[in-house]
A = this chain, B = another copy of it.
């Protein structure tokens, strides 16, 4: 692995774990991604491809997979291509020396011949080395604008999973799961108050929870509606 790859691969959010992912309608996908990480040196034959709109947890699952493989002593590489595209396709050099490679937002580099070429060769090297590849994008493979037929055919045989947005009930539970894992009890009432006042993107909701956690620690107070109004200026 190149030094640039190593430093790029360190940027995993430490809260992006499987345990922090509320499964909801994505239970089957969560389990399958975990399964792909469990197999330890017995990687699946297939590429896993996750797609869904923003905020459904694509990046969370990819990072959780990397964290899991690293925990077990393996090498994992998380490449968020929308952020890293400007580094050019040489980012993909030597990826096959990792056990697990996660390419996030693959749509960001498609349509560019040198990137598509590099992806195709990287896929082949990973397959030949028997390593695991996980891809995430905003749309299913058939809706991507891929020019290179060879790359299109590689993606067409991936195991495809659609990620769904959580219902409001499930968002409440996702908040409660995260809160309680930090030792904060979040009642249904207070949770629904947050959902009603906040943008309902899970990213924003979890950031709000983060703020509340710090505020309640400092003030040594429980999560009540009056405390929330005070802490968040709502």
Q: Which residues of A contact B (CB under 8 A)?
A: 18-19, 22-25, 27-32, 34-35, 38, 44, 173-174, 176-183, 185-186
Contacts of A32 in B (CB 8 A): 180-181, 183, 185
Provide the bound-state CA to CA distance between A183 and B173, in Å. 26
Contact partner of A28 (CB less than 8 A), chosen from B24, B34, B186, is B186
Q: Report the copy number of this chain in the oligomer.
A: 2
The distance in angstroms between the C-alpha atoms of A105 and B22, with both chains bound, is 28
A-B CB contact pairs (8 Å), 17 listed = A19-B34, A23-B23, A23-B173, A24-B173, A25-B173, A27-B174, A27-B177, A28-B176, A28-B177, A28-B179, A28-B185, A28-B186, A29-B180, A31-B180, A32-B185, A34-B180, A35-B182
**Chain B nearest Cβ from A179, distance in angstroms:** 7
A176 touches B22 (CB 8 A): no
CA distance A185 to B27 in the complex (A): 11
Measured between C-beta atoms, what is the minimum distance from A67 to chain B in Å?
13
Contact partners of A23 in chain B: CB under 8 A? 22-23, 173, 177
